[in-house]
Structure 1
């Protein structure tokens, strides 16, 4: 596999695993210095360099991978003062692994292309554990030629790579996936809170769902919290969950698609963020809902 000079922006829980695996596969890696990064010691020991601005990072990179919080951050690092577009070399490939609003994705992609670069959206599913193991799922929006060029790079940190369609299709598929995933978790959380109010034993609740139609990934991820209050089965914050449902509802609205249930899930997450710690992990929504039910009764 060819070796590329890769610049990464966003070394959070997911980005750190991606960066680690890129180094393992022999790519020259540079990362943007940012307060939100995970500790960089192991990456620096592995040969990674750091830059203070996206402009400087882009100027030294063949490929730029974004793994930031959402649309505002993507737009800022690409289009802002000292942004990627100010320093990007012709032929540079921008790979956006963030979760973003598809209409914004299409707009910024066009600006990258006008600057002589190429763009693909490649948002992820799975967790930081799989990111560290190089076993993410990627949902790619790009033209077929660019997809084939980039597959060896993407394979450094992913197990399953799906070509969802042209630019924007990856982000659309990611929002559909996260709506179903987070919506299922929120539904089970509300049922678990109701079960608690009804005096149903938590283990009985889990066992009955698991042997019937309630079984699935959402239940498996909530099981540790229901059993012992352990939130580590789902390392995704309330704030990020609300962001993704907000993006989904915006996408559905743009498409004039029905979003009755999605709107209810978004409102539930919004209320949880207001009543609790937005940075708390998603399983902690269960006691927040249970408390709300108790106050109403």
Structure 2
């Protein structure tokens, strides 16, 4: 899969890009049961055609970037299903091929569309633990252990031809340091997005300014921001990052509903009250589209959705963003 266009070249050309939305929400809408430690990676094993369909739905909705179904796809996780390392990494590569097939189908029907990109999802170690720790950052590994955990998946994503890496939902400064070393090692563009303790700190308590300082020295990190966070935290978090870096900013928060970590169910937004874990606190009728103009003023160049967002949300967002330029 040749890389004809890079994220950095599009950003350098002044493009602002619409990202896709939640993968799991749409897979559940297609009948998938994701009550599993592998989460959406389970579908890579059982119903991969549905992943391709969801990617296509988001391209149809106006997204220019699809994020692969590799967030929880790791050799360690698949080993619990009896898969070998080689079989596991083939599934990681499959996540890239499925996104590319959806891209090629869309472009065949819409040849005047601008470039479409594929981001290889690199979820945190906490995602593999499947205990919500990607929203706490309360796990501790050495730098070598972090790199050994992430390296095989990154190698598989790069070898399969992703346009760049999405190092996402990161709660830990130490893990970000290790991933930064791997981005340098593999010489690949990446964005880094973090979960938040509050509007000024990532989940392990590190100030956003310190995160920005870590990343701004590496030119391969083309954007930094937040994902899987409450809508209400995005604006102040982007403000904190804007004060600390000149890099492009990226934001793809949750839908605005609240998540009950005990019952593992979603409910209506609770205005003004932040929800733990993946669930955001809504601000009345706040939406991705309604916030896009403000986030762009703060420097967000890449905007999309995370948990519980849908192609309809991305379609509304795309209508409030710069239209795709013809190729």
Report the TM-score range of the alignment, normalised by the length of the smaller protein.
0.3 to 0.5
Higher relative contact order (CA 8 A, sep 6+): 2
Q: Which has the higher helix share?
A: 1
TM-score by length of 1: 0.32
- Choose 1 or 2 for highest CA Rg: 1
TM-score by length of 2: 0.30
